Structure 1
Amino acid sequence: MAAATSGRRVLSLRRKLLLWLLLPQLIMWMAVATLAYRIALNYALKGIDQSLTQSVRSLARQVKPAGSGLYIDFPRAAQAIMEEDPGDPVSYMVSSPPGSFVLGNVGRDPLPAPPAAGIKGEPMLYDAPYGGKPFRHAALEVDYGDADAPQRMRVQVAKSLAVRERIARELIYDMLVPLVLLGAVLGFLVSAGVRRGLMPLQKLQSEVAEKSVETLHPIEMTQAPREVHALADAVNRLLAAVRRSMQQEKRFLNDAAHQLRTPLAGLKGQLELALAETDPDALKSRLVKVNAAVERSAHLVHQLLSLARSEGEMPVEELDVAQLARELAREWTPRMLAQDIDFGYEGADKLLLRGNALLIREALNNLIDNASRYAGRGATITLRARAEDALAVLEVEDDGPGISEAERLQVFQRFVRASDVPGGVGLGLAIVREIAQRHGGDAQIRRVEPHGLVARIELARG
């Protein structure tokens, strides 16, 4: 199926536009030509009917009733007028009684009789073949004679319908020549307009083709039509997403390389010293230090991956953060009990918003981990969830030593630590703020009197 699709020829946008613009015009011109031909035939027939009507009346005036007979006054000049066009001769016949030849130029081949009786004194027009060709006929019935011996005379004039076809063709030719010229000019103008209209797309193509990994700057299309602006905006959004992704990847690699260098170097040094030890107690002490270095490196890698995940694409769904907080409280309870920490949850039973459950869980885990790590054994930690206007607020409060005002302004920066307690890498709160901002909110830290700390996450509920 893929091979068949790839082998199928696809028309370019320019050809499609020309096809959809010029093909309807061609169909319209053909329809106009057909309609014009029919109109020309109709007008030509009207002209023939008018000529036949005049001729049949004129011929009827040349044959005058005289008592019970007819007086024919048909001079040579009148006959010449009737037959003046040798290319389109007029056939005429006078018969009395109708069908009995009296006068005419039809010889032994009489003109066909009318299909029905007409109105006396009024010409009747009809079509009937004559000599194997289509003809248009006019017939006029005239009564004469005495009341005791009434008689009737039929005057007939006929003309070939070939003249109608010739007149129609001449009219169509006179009309079509300027129409064809007009169509050619219009087609040229349409083609030029399509070419000019597609120039912004060609410019957009050139600008996109010139982009490289180092030059993912937005595309400027200030003079382009609105539709191209929309396309350029979509490309710019894509370029911005790619640029942001590349910056995040570069920052992650730089952070990982910088932060992993020191613990890995320390780990290598401890291993070298451990390999050189012969005293079992000294060797055990070295291995304990190696294990601590490994745990710190593992924690650093986990935090770096969490930070990279928080900066990436974020699928959202409808979720209950109050339920999520309660689940986390249950998961952390055994660990808190092992550290002799009083840990609990208080707040709303249900708190809905649209967000990413995995990232919000990561942010709360970081806050709870920080509180348990720095508050120390015997502390009290409370996890809260509540609504404040259009925000969902998540808080982790502890009664530990807290941090100074100057440190509170810096702890959300990457790799900044406000304590010498081992185990931290200075990324937890940076991850928390990044996740909060991705959900339309922010993260804050404030001091609790007489001592302690509240870490607060604000998430937009709309």
Structure 2
Amino acid sequence: MKQAGRAPGLSLKRQLLLWLLLPQLVLWLAGGVLAWRVALNYAEKGIDQSLTQSVRSLARQVKPIGSGLLVDFPRAAQDILEQDPTDRVGYMVSSPPGRFVLGNGQLPPPPPGITIDAGEPLIYEAKLAGKPVRVALLEVNYGEADAPQRLRVQVAKSLAVQQRIARELVADILLPLLVLGLLLGVLMYAGIARGLRPLKRLEAQLGDRAGRTLAALPPIELKEAPQEVHSLAAAVNQLLDAVRRSLSQEKRFLNDAAHQLRTPLAGLISQTELALQETEPQALKERLGKVHAGALRSAHLVHQLLSLARTEAEVSLQPLDLAALAREVAREWTPRALAARVDLGYEGEDTLTVAGEKLLLRESLNNLIENALRYAGRDARVTVRVLRQGTEAVIEVEDSGPGLPESDRARVFERFWRASELPGGCGLGLAIVAEIAQRHGGGASVHAVQPSGLLVRLTLPLPGLKT
């Protein structure tokens, strides 16, 4: 049952707008709270200054005369204090402090425990009729030296004006910022839309390639685009190039397989047709022997082609003991070497750890030893070596056979190239060896041996060491 695809999330444009506008909104709200606190603070300072002036002025209107008081507080001044019903100013004169003398209401005393110095105004907050007020208090001394007295003057003002001033100030600050924020949001939307146009062009180019085969896909070209979009296009081009290389390798493998299998299969068909026409047992046996040899040759070719295809796949490198692997493969070939009267031996390190694919390295050793045994000839010597040279591990297979001329040594790693017409070979063994070495980050080379013979060398990088 086909599973439903996951629904797409927010578009890139909306995500960018969200992450750009959300911090702006948070900063706007934080700015509003900060502006409100600042506005309240400045309004409080203004009220305190006004109350201080009012309480000093009122205190000057109360003049002590002997042991009494003369209150020069005309009705006009009282009307000015009481003209704003929403922000009514309360005042009270008391002597001794707290005993009402005159005023428009009983004002709350200062908080307990506060020391009041004569002649120095005191500002404090209190509640009057359940509403918060700001009170300024000033005490003055009067009377005779033998009968001192103290006069307290209080002026109170509600905090409504403070809050109104703060609201007006915050509105004057935040409304222009809100308008600027909206304008900035529009500009950001337009800028994001313009910045994402290269992605739209990239999408259009990819859409134009939807109906084409992968091998015929041209690279994506973006003339004017940000660096990130160029990087994305370059990554897509690399992917397309890798796909093209993979298809090319697959096509080449199929072509090689078809070309190389055509001849032995045609030979098998012709030999079986002739065998079917034979009546003599001896002649029939000879024909069947040729069919068997052709089948073995075809099986070997198929094995080599599959090995070649395997080397072109991704290689998973794991730590392994290369010296132990070489000794193991050499022991496996010992019976065949004895049958061919070839002295097969191993020299080199007892243990040497490399990062490699065991199956591929075993295949390369099999191909090297098989080639040496086939072409070295009887009574030859074949030596397998695993050595450490600096930052590299070296695999060598040396034989004492006739060797190769210098002109042929340059072509030994080409596919399907053969230096000898001896039966059994297909020209892929050393090509597979070179491909395996390359897949492991190393290389392959061939050298002449004096007085005669051939040496094939593979180099592999040692793990954790750099050249």
Q: Distance in 2 between matches of 1:394 and 1:133?
A: 97
1:186 maps to 2:184:
yes
TM-score by length of 2: 0.88
Counterpart amino acid of 1:289? K
Answer whether contact 2:86 2:160 (CA < 8 A) is retained: no
Task: Pick the aligned partner of 1:133 from 131, 134, 144.
Answer: 131
CA distance in 2, matches of 1:3, 1:409: 56
Aligned to 1:399: 400
Letter of the 1:369 counterpart? E
> Does 2:177 correspond to 1:176?
no
1:375-394 → structure 2 map (5 Å cutoff): 375-394=376-395
What's the counterpart of residue 74 of structure 1?
73
Is 1:166–2:164 an aligned residue pair?
yes
Equivalent residue number for residue 12 of structure 1: 11
Runs of 5+ consecutive residues of structure 2 not aligned to the other structure: none
Shift of 1:420: 1.5
In structure 2, what residue type is equivalent to 1:74? F
Relative to structure 2, which stretch is displaced further, 50-59 or 135-144? 135-144
Alignment deviations for residues 319-346 of structure 1 (CA, whole Å, 9 cap, x no partner):
3323222111111001111222221122
Residue in structure 2 matched with residue 46 of structure 1 by the alignment? 45
* 1:245–1:312 Cα contact (<8 Å) kept: no
Aligned AA for 2:460? L
CA distance in structure 1 between the aligned counterparts of 2:3 and 2:71, rounded to whole angstroms: 89
Shift of 1:40: 0.6
Change in Cα spacing, 1:222 to 1:388, as seen in structure 2 (3 Å) is farther
Shift of 1:221: 5.6
Render the CA deviation track for 1:419-447: whole Å, top value 9, x for unaligned: 11111111112112222333344333344
- 1:37-436 equivalences in 2 (<5 Å): 37-106=36-105, 110-116=106-112, 118-211=116-209, 212-220=213-221, 224-436=225-437
Q: Distance in 1 between matches of 2:321 and 2:205?
A: 46
Q: Secondary structure at 2:87's aligned position in 1?
A: coil
Percent pairwise identity? 64
Asked if the contact 1:41/1:168 (under 8 Å) is kept, the reply is: yes
In 2, the alpha carbon distance for the partners of 1:292 and 1:436 equals 31
**C-alpha separation in 1, matches of 2:400 and 2:190:** 77
Secondary structure of 1:214's aligned partner? helix
Shift of 1:87: 4.0
When residues 66 and 420 of structure 1 are mapped into structure 2, their CA distance, relative to the original with a 3 A threshold, is same
How far residue 451 of structure 1 moved from its aligned partner, in angstroms, is 3.8
Distance in 2, Cα, partners of 1:280 & 1:50:
134
TM-score w.r.t. the length of structure 1 is: 0.89
Q: Amino acid of the residue matched to residue 129 of structure 1?
A: K
Task: Give the AA of the match of 1:362.
Answer: E
1:22-37 → structure 2 map (5 Å cutoff): 22-37=21-36
Closer, same or farther: CA 126–449 of 1 in aligned 2, 3 Å = closer
Question: What CA distance in whole angstroms lies between the structure 2 residues aligned with 1:299 and 1:359?
Answer: 17
Most deviating of 432-441 and 164-173: 432-441
Residue ranges of structure 1 left out of the alignment (5+ in a row): none
Q: Are the equivalent residues in 2 in contact too, given 1:320–1:350 (CA < 8 A)?
A: yes
Deviation at 1:207, TM superposition (A): 4.3
**Is 2:451 the partner of 1:455?**
no
Matched-pair contact (CA < 8 Å) for 2:214–2:240: no
d(CA) in 1 for partners of 2:379 and 2:372?
12
Contact 2:442 2:458 in 1 (8 A): yes
Alpha-carbon distance between aligned partners in 1 of 2:398 and 2:253, rounded to the nearest angstrom: 30
- Cα deviation 1:17-55 (Å, max 9, x = unaligned): 322222122111111110110111111111111111111
Q: State the secondary structure of the residue aligned to 1:138.
A: strand
Aligned residues: 457
CA gap of 1:389–1:220, structure 2 versus 1, over 3 A, is farther
CA distance change for structure 1 residues 447 and 126 in 2, over 3 Å: closer, same or farther?
closer
Evaluate the alpha carbon distance shift between residue 215 and residue 118 of structure 1 in structure 2; reply closer, same or farther with a 3 A threshold. farther
Distance between the aligned counterparts of 2:146 and 2:398, measured in 1? 136
State the distance in 1 between where 2:20 and 2:362 align: 57
What is the Cα-based RMSD across aligned positions, in Å? 2.7
Q: Secondary structure at the match of 1:377?
A: coil
Instruction: Check 1:426–1:119 CA distance in 2 against 1; reply closer, same or farther (3 A cut).
Output: same
